[in-house]
Amino acid sequence: MPDAPAPANTITSLEALEALYGTPSERAITKEIDYIAPEYAAFIEASPFVVLSTVAPEGTDSSPRGDPPGFVRVQDPKTVLLPDRNGNNRTDSLRNVVRDPRVSLLFLVPGVGETLRINGTAELRTDPDLLASFEFQGKLPRSVLKITADRVYFQCQKALHRSKLWDPASQAETRPVPTAGQILKALDKASAFDADEYDAGYPAHMKRTIY
C-alpha cells in the first residue's frame, strides 16, 4: 500500500523546511566546533545544571543533572566527565547509553542568557580511581559518564530572555503547580497514599539521600 499523504500544512522534507526558514547566519555556523574550546570549558565549569538527553529503541529521554559548579569535569578538549549522583534508581539514561551511546548535553548557568550544547557519544565507566575523584560529602558516584564531544556550540539568549527564567519578578510567590505528593496521589487513587505526609517528610528524606 502506498504511504498515506501527509496532513496539509505539515513540513515533511528538508527542502520544505529550508524554504520556510531559509539558511542560518554565518555566525550561527562558525560557533559550532568539534572540540571544547577554552571559552566553552569555562562555561561548563561555571554550570551547576545540565540536561542529559539520550536515545534508545523505546524512544528518547531527557534527565536533569545538578551539583555545585564544576561537577561536570572537562578532561580534555574532546571529553567531559559527568558523575551519576544518587537519584530515583530508574537509571533511564544509563540504560539508554549502554545500548546507544548517542547523547546531548545542555548546560545552564544561573543569570547567564546563553546556553551551551554538546552532542556526542558516551560510555559508562566504573574505574575506582575515577569514582574516587568525584567523591562529594563522603559519597562516591556509582558510575561516571565519559562523553566524547562531536559538536559543541552555544545558543543565543533569546529563549531564556523570552521565558524570563532568571528574572526574580517571574518567580511565583506560592507554588504554581501540584506538589510531588499530590501528583503521586492523583496517579494512584486506589491506594491509601498520604500526599500531605509525603510532602512534609520529603525535605528530611532528601537530606538523608541526596548523596
Tell me: pLDDT of 5 over 80.
Answer: no
Instruction: Give residue 150's pLDDT band: very low, low, confident or very high (50, 70, 90).
Output: very high
Let me know whether 183 and 118 are in one domain: no
Burial of 1 (0-12, 13-18, 19+ CB in 10 A): exposed
Tell me: pLDDT of 4 over 80.
Answer: no
3-state DSSP call for residue 36? coil
Position 108 scores a pLDDT of 98
Instruction: Give residue 190's pLDDT band: very low, low, confident or very high (50, 70, 90).
Output: confident
As for how many domains the chain has, the answer is 2
3-state DSSP call for residue 176? coil
Give the list of residues 6+ apart from residue 54 with CB closer than 8 angstroms, or none: 60, 61, 62, 63, 92, 93, 96, 97, 100, 102, 103, 122
Let me know whether 106 and 183 are in one domain: no
Q: Which amino acid would we find at residue 103?
A: V
**Pairwise pLDDT comparison (144 vs 8), residue with the higher score:** 144
**Residue 183, domain extent:** 172-209
Mean pLDDT of 150-154: 97
Let me know whether 139 and 177 are in one domain: no
Position 189 scores a pLDDT of 81
Tell me: pLDDT of 61 over 80.
Answer: yes
Tell me: pLDDT of 87 over 90.
Answer: no
Assigned domain for 18 exists: no
Position 27 scores a pLDDT of 87
Instruction: Provide the percentage of residues in the chain whose pLDDT is more than 90.
Output: 86
Assigned domain for 102 exists: yes
Burial of 175 (0-12, 13-18, 19+ CB in 10 A): exposed
Q: Provide DSSP, 102-145.
A: EEEEEEE-TT-S-EEEEEEEEEEE--HHHHHHT-BTTB--S-EE
Assigned domain for 1 exists: no
The answer to whether the beta carbons of residues 86 and 209 sit under 8 Å apart is: yes
Tell me: pLDDT of 1 over 80.
Answer: no
Mean pLDDT of 41-48: 98
SS (H, E, C) 47-89: CCEEEEEEEECCEEEEEEEECCCCCCEEEECCEEEEECCCCCC
pTM over 0.85: yes
On average, the pLDDT of the chain sits at 94
Q: Which amino acid would we find at residue 78?
A: K
Mean pLDDT of 173-194: 92
Burial of 198 (0-12, 13-18, 19+ CB in 10 A): middle
Assigned domain for 5 exists: no
Tell me: pLDDT of 132 over 70.
Answer: yes
Position 81 scores a pLDDT of 98
Tell me: pLDDT of 2 over 70.
Answer: no
Assigned domain for 16 exists: no
Which CATH number do you get for residue 99? 2.30.110.10
**Pairwise pLDDT comparison (88 vs 51), residue with the higher score:** 51
For residue 117, what is its C-alpha cell? 550544547
Long-range contacts of residues 166-170, Cβ cutoff 8 Å, at least 24 apart: 166/110, 166/111, 166/112, 166/113
Let me know whether 54 and 108 are in one domain: yes
